[in-house]
Structure 1
Amino acid sequence: MELMSSGKVWDLAVVDPPYGIGAENHAGKQENGWTQWKQKEWDKATPNKQYFDELFRVSKNQIIWGGNYMTDNLNPSMGWIIWDKGQRDFSLADGEMAWRSFQKAMRSRMYFTLF
């Protein structure tokens, strides 16, 4: 927080904060069977109101992955992004949701390509 700038200098902030789902208590499917994840502390809680206040203060627009877990700190939005991973049993979820500040129609994508 202390490293954030003093005004709306960023046109877009794309963030993927902890979802607060306690990921350390889950198992994941591997090619050769199921495996337990090691105990971690990073996913015990979602960011607090101060985090979101600062994020909105320094950025004009936002895309927040996992926003469906943080709606208590986000305004209603019609602009959700739905990422359908296209691979069933790939992880604990078939897709991910991102809240976005743009008030435009929801979009769904089968996958993303990173270069």
Structure 2
Amino acid sequence: MSPIRREEIIGDCRLILGDCLEVLPLLGGGIDAVVTDPPYGLGKRMQGGTWGAKDEFSGFLQWDLEARQEWIDAILGLKVPTIIWGANYFDVPPARCWLLWNKINSVPTMADAEMAWTNFDKPAKRFDAPVGRVDFGHPTSKPLPLIQWCLSFVPSARLVLDPFFGSGTTAVACAKAGKAFVGTEINETYFDAACERIRKAYDQPDMFITPERPPDPKQEALL
């Protein structure tokens, strides 16, 4: 049985439903960067335990209790520019450039900040942004501006991987930046929600991204 349970191609995004550890060996080369946010294993400690009480997030605690070092080892084995949110909960190499998300509207039951490990030889950096609402069916979705900021650290990356794409935030950020994306998600409910969100993102292209245009025949005639 194939580890790829479903696959959707939306614009320049390749979305795969399946276990990342089983799917990653099938992706081959060409990946230029990783930007990802795996489960941290916090379970009931997440948001003071409030998520587990909500019916729409049933099953959330079950997957969030799992935090496997194998995930991180597989990602690091790709040896590409990498950003891993929540890497302070895993065994990662020493890093010079940790990224800090300062949650400017955090409440006492939430963390004031979150950290991402990188393999960049740069000073540590901070991004000030509020915690977003749960608009896309995933309780731990990162704000889109935060992930767009992450992509600014890999400007030359053409194909970005997220092995835990959840509600599709990294894919949407890539679409808006004119980058290709490939990712895996193991939960079918989140997968479906991400597909819908990414389709909408392509239906409303970023006004600041200038698409390539075919040559003007009149200009060519002047050459």
Whether TM-score is above 0.5 comes out as yes
Query: For residue 95 of structure 1, what is the aligned residue in structure 2?
Result: 113
Q: Where does structure 1 lack aligned partners over 5 or more consecutive residues?
A: 30-34
- RMSD after superposition: 2.8
Aligned residues: 106
Q: Where does structure 2 lack aligned partners over 5 or more consecutive residues?
A: 1-20, 130-142, 149-175, 177-223
1:62 and 2:82 correspond: yes
1:42-77 deviations in whole A, cap 9, x for unaligned?
1113222x322321233511100011111x2x1000
After the TM superposition, which segments of 4 or more aligned residues of structure 1 sit over 6 Å from their partners? none
Q: Which has the higher strand share?
A: 1
Larger Rg: 2
1:12 and 2:33 correspond: yes
Q: Which has the higher helix share?
A: 2
Task: Map 1:1-115 to 2 at 5 A.
Answer: 1-4=21-24, 5-7=27-29, 9-23=30-44, 26-28=48-50, 36-37=53-54, 38=58, 40-48=61-69, 50-70=70-90, 72=91, 74-89=92-107, 92-111=110-129, 113=145
Q: Flag the structure with more relative contact order, 1 or 2, with Cα contacts below 8 A and sequence separation at least 6.
A: 1
| Percentage of pairs with the same residue | 30
- Asked whether the equivalents of residues 14 and 64 of structure 1 are also in contact (C-alpha less than 8 Å), the reply is yes
Residues 68, 24 of structure 1: CA spacing in aligned structure 2 closer, same or farther, 3 A cutoff? Answer: closer
- Asked whether the equivalents of residues 11 and 59 of structure 1 are also in contact (C-alpha less than 8 Å), the reply is no
> TM-score, normalised on structure 2?
0.41
